[in-house]
Structure 1
């Protein structure tokens, strides 16, 4: 499948997030510990927000993250307080730039790990449910982008948890009509630049891995000799497909069937259930 991270906190260089950690995304692109595949080399992408524009910047490439020199250059110069980064392992759709995450619509970013099982059978029904005004904006061929546009259709910009619940509910409904037992496997991150929502859910109740960082102030007390922790603000929140390092107690698993909402360093964990 894929691996991703979502960061919100004081502005940091992309390099600090995607290269420097012991088990960074770039390391995971070659040697994922918890992913469905050890190698995630079918492209990557990074999206970030800054003070220059309400629309986030996006850089996507079909090159493997471990070998892309442009990513290295970018990472050493771009600084942001909200970052979404993704490395891709395709579940069958083409390796092309428009299929790389994160996807963008206006001020919104979206990325997904997992798959919609039986997508080829469901695709026509799902696409026809997308708002006709949004349909021309779809650029790629992935199930992840279709799920994004379904969420936009159902009101992502007004109420993300409700919109994602309706989108997932529709996929499961369509899946049942096609005899697909477990249509949805997902961890999702989406942001408008001010808030971050992450979701962990699968129809079968065995979702892909997802973790959040422990409170930085507590970690700083436990590990006073660790210089990395002194560089992070107390409001720092990171949600990842798998931990970025081996520091004991630094990572907590996000529960199955849940939505984690983060704003200004505050977290709210909610149950997530698809809506009919």
Structure 2
């Protein structure tokens, strides 16, 4: 399973400054979530950029340099813990996507063949890797390519997965587009992962301040009332113009 962190700010700044005191505790989670890292961000032209690596985040000079130099107002960070039998390679490293959207997932969905049934052959042919997570993204992308808004695409795709997949450990995900950050929280409360980790392991919470909002999975202290949980089976939308979550 993986770890997710997103940030949206009313003013651009280096990602390291936006995440501030929560950055180092997040990166240190790579002691366990050690199978690569990825960063998605909105660039100065309004497109989505993605940079990733397969080294440990806490040992990566490339990551630390990027976080200090990349000036943006929206970003998503992902630490990967590879699912069994999935290779640790760039093609399987989150976030997935292009200049239109970048998508990161924390969980597992089976069978992969069901996910592929939600994707057109032409779009499926663009897959780089072998993960269920990339196919989750392509199923969302399929909806967006046919006119759905990001929140509609995520809602339709997660409903289809819930109704048709044989196994869902978690659908927790973040998608960054040129217009906003979209998050989704849902997991199986009976999964063995919950038994090992505790009921909060797949939750997403957010912390809003005057100029920015952080959204993250757990792993370091996130005291309430500063951090508030996001509702399950709902899409939360965060924009630079309205830092509070809009729940769909």
TM-score (norm 1): 0.76
Q: Secondary structure at the match of 1:164?
A: helix
CA distance in 1, matches of 2:23, 2:48: 27
CA distance in 2, matches of 1:155, 1:47: 19
* Structure of larger gyration radius: 1
Unaligned runs of 5+ in 1: 31-38, 218-232, 272-276
5 Å matches for 1:98-177? 98-116=91-109, 119=110, 122-155=111-144, 158-175=148-165
The aligned runs of 1:239-250 (5 Å cut-off) are 239-242=215-218, 249-250=225-226
Name the Cα RMSD after superposition. 2.5
Residues in 2 aligned to 1:83 and 1:126: alpha-carbon distance in whole angstroms: 26
Rounded to whole Å, the distance in 2 between the matches of 1:270 and 1:55 is 24
Other-structure match for 1:225: none
Equivalent residue, structure 1, for 2:14:
13
Aligned to 1:165, what secondary structure does the other structure show? Answer: helix
Aligned residues: 235
Cα deviations by residue, 1:165-219 (Å, 9 ceiling, x for unpaired): 22223323332xxxx3x425121111212212111112558671211003x24xx
Pick the aligned partner of 1:258 from 192, 215, 234: 234
Quick check: 1:27 aligned with 2:21? no
Output the CA distance in 2 between the equivalents of 1:254 and 1:186: 14
1:59 match: 51
Q: Which residue of the partner structure matches residue 81 of structure 1?
A: 73
How far did residue 20 of structure 1 move?
4.5
Greater than 4 Å deviation, 4+ residue runs: 17-20, 203-207, 243-248
What secondary structure sits across from 2:103 in the alignment? strand
Gaps in structure 2 of 5+ consecutive residues:
191-198
Structure 2: how far apart are the matches of 1:128 and 1:248?
Answer: 41
